[in-house]
Amino acid sequence: MLNNVKTVLKENYDNRYRLIRLANYELKAQNNGTMFGFLWNFFNPILQILVYWFVFAIGLKSAAPQGKYPYIIWMIVGIMPWFYMSTALTTTGNSIYAYSGVLKRMYIPLSIVPIKSVLSALIAHFWSMLVVIGIIFASGYSISLYYFQTLYFTFASFILLCAYALFASAVVVVFRDFQKIMLSVIRLLFYITPIVWVQDNLPAELKFILKLNPFAYLIDGYRDSILYERNLMFHWKQGVFFWAFTIIFFIIGCNIHMKFRKQFIDLI
């Protein structure tokens, strides 16, 4: 069981340069043929922020939770990490299946294929977080050392998404309907995670359930680091649960991946 985890980790470590460059390439390919090319990495988040700012701050006049920040800043600090997570969740499911043309004719270590999709979303995330920090700074707020704590939450989300990527990409090869199901689940996840709404007014029981949602832990973590200057011990119980869940999920993901990998090429 742990041997499978070792194989996956080793394969990714041995091919780390190929992995990083493939992820970069995948990101670049999305902007291929556009005139602004690389700049789209910044335009995309800015346009998204404008849309949400218009809908929530102007249209719905949503109020911010406690703290010194207006709603729009509170929201983008949560929604930008979510965009990265949802991109990774939606693209990784199909990652092996979509690569069939290459995989059928060339030897590529299979476990790097789902991981490179997560990594590609992560690279885009770095650019969009730069935009977020730029906006906060431009609005006249100071930048604190707590910002570096987001790196921990980025790392945590990366591991969780890799676990999902290994799991989902393998399942989709044998059961294609899984991807369709997950697209709906991801949409649902957006609403059951406190990304655009404030959780303070929830009854205690519901709040407890919310604490079991690993994505809520991550999004809260980003906000704690950037807006509230809380260190990560503030949610340590949630943190322990998050890591227990993520590590078990990662082990399952690696095992499912290894169990099916010998059949991938014959099935895609």
Task: Give me the residues that bind other proteins (CB under 8 A), please.
Answer: 15, 17-18, 21-22, 25, 29, 32-33, 101-108, 174-176, 260, 262-263, 265-267
Q: How far is the CB of 221 from other proteins (least distance, A)?
A: 34
Q: Which of 129, 115, 138 is nearest to 41 (CA)?
A: 129
Q: How far is the CB of 21 from other proteins (least distance, A)?
A: 5
Q: How many CA atoms lie within 13 A of 136 on its CB side?
A: 22
Q: How far is the CB of 89 from other proteins (least distance, A)?
A: 23
Q: How far is the CB of 265 from other proteins (least distance, A)?
A: 4
Residues 118 and 162 sit within 8 Å (Cβ to Cβ): yes
Q: Which is nearer to other proteins, 187 or 259 (CB)?
A: 259
Q: Which is nearer to other proteins, 200 or 266 (CB)?
A: 266
Q: How far is the CB of 27 from other proteins (least distance, A)?
A: 13
Q: Cα–Cα distance between 215 and 123 in angstroms, integer?
A: 19
The C-alpha angle 203, 208, 211, rounded to 5 degrees, equals 125
Counting every residue written for the chain, the total comes to 268
Q: Which is nearer to other proteins, 113 or 161 (CB)?
A: 113
Q: How far is the CB of 113 from other proteins (least distance, A)?
A: 11
Q: How far is the CB of 31 from other proteins (least distance, A)?
A: 12
DSSP 8-state secondary structure symbol assigned to residue 158: H
Q: Cα–Cα distance between 16 and 118 in angstroms, integer?
A: 14
Q: Exposed/middle/buried for 247, CB within 10 Å: 0-12, 13-18, 19+? A: middle
Q: Which is nearer to other proteins, 11 or 210 (CB)?
A: 11
Longest dimension (CA), the chain: 57
Q: Cα–Cα distance between 77 and 41 in angstroms, integer?
A: 17
Q: Which is nearer to other proteins, 18 or 230 (CB)?
A: 18
Q: Which is nearer to other proteins, 143 or 181 (CB)?
A: 181
C-alpha 212: how far from chain center: 17
Sequence-separated (6 or more) residues with CB below 8 Å from residue 178 = 93, 168, 171, 172
Using DSSP's 3-state secondary structure scheme, residue 221 falls into helix
Q: Which is nearer to other proteins, 75 or 171 (CB)?
A: 171
